[in-house]
Chain A
C-alpha cells in the first residue's frame, strides 16, 4: 500500500534511503531506551500518584519528551523504510533497556529475564515480516 492512499493528496517533500531509515530507527531505539530510564528515575522519586506530581517531575517530562522525539523518528523511518528490516532493529530498545537497568539501577539479570526478552525481540521481528517472506 502506498503512503498516498493513506494520506491523500500529501506528497512528502523528502525521502529517506533505506540506509537512512535504518539509521533513524537505530537512533530511535537509543532515544527510546534513554526515555525509559528517565521515566523510571522520575517514577522512583514520585511522592504521590497524582497526575500533577507526574507533570511537574522534570525526569518524567524530559523522559516523555525524548519518547516523543523517538516516536517522530520512528514514524519518519517507517514511512520510507522496509518494515521487515526495521522491526528487528526497533526491538533493540528492549535490549538497551535491559542493559541500562542493570548498569544504572543495579537490577539483577537471570535466565528467565534474558530468555523472555530474547523471545520478545524475536516475536516483534516476526510481526514486521509478510507471509512468505
Chain B
C-alpha cells in the first residue's frame, strides 16, 4: 500500500492544530488549584480538549489511506510548532540544542517522505 502525499499533509495539519491545544493545556494547567472546580470549570482546558479533538479528526482522516510506518512518525512535527508557541506564549528560550533536535526531526521527516 502506498502512502498518498495528501495523507502526509493531513498529519502535518493535525500536528499544527494539536500543538495549539498544548498551549491551552499549559495555560489551563497553570491555573489549577486544589479545588476540583479549577479543573472542571477551566475554560482553557476545555478549549484545549476541543482543539485536540479537531486535531485527532484530521489525524484519523490522514491514516485512513497510507502506511502507519510513514504517517505516525510525522506526528513528531508537532515538536517544531510547540517550540515556536513556547517562545511566543511562554517566553521559553530557543537554544542551540533545541534547534539541533528539531533539525534531526525535520531530516527524519524528509527521509520518511522519500521512503513512502
Contact = CB atoms under 8 A, between A and B. Distances in A.
A58 interface: no
Interface in A81-133: 91, 94, 97-98, 101-102, 105, 107-113, 115-120, 122-127, 129-131, 133
B68 A97 contact: yes
B68 A7 contact: no
A29 to B, nearest CB: 13
A28 B83 CA distance: 22
B67 A126 contact: no
Contacts of B112: 112-113, 116-117
A54 interface: yes
30 contacts: A10-B32, A40-B68, A54-B57, A54-B60, A94-B76, A97-B68, A97-B73, A105-B67, A105-B68, A109-B69, A113-B115, A116-B115, A117-B73, A117-B112, A119-B104, A119-B105, A119-B108, A120-B76, A120-B108, A123-B76, A123-B100, A123-B102, A123-B105, A123-B106, A123-B108, A124-B105, A127-B83, A127-B102, A131-B96, A133-B97
B87 interface: no
A73 interface: no
Q: Using C-beta atoms within 8 Å of the partner chain, give the interface range for chain A.
A: 35 or more
Q: Which of B34, B61, B108 has the most CB of A within 10 A?
A: B108
The 6 closest A-B pairs by CB, nearest first: A112-B115, A123-B104, A119-B108, A126-B101, A116-B111, A123-B105
A126 B97 contact: yes
A15 B47 CA distance: 29
A124 B78 CA distance: 11
B89 to A, nearest CB: 14
Interface of A: 6-10, 36-37, 39-40, 42-44, 46, 49, 51, 54, 60, 64, 91, 94, 97-98, 101-102, 105, 107-113, 115-120, 122-127, 129-131, 133
B1 interface: yes
B68 A112 contact: no
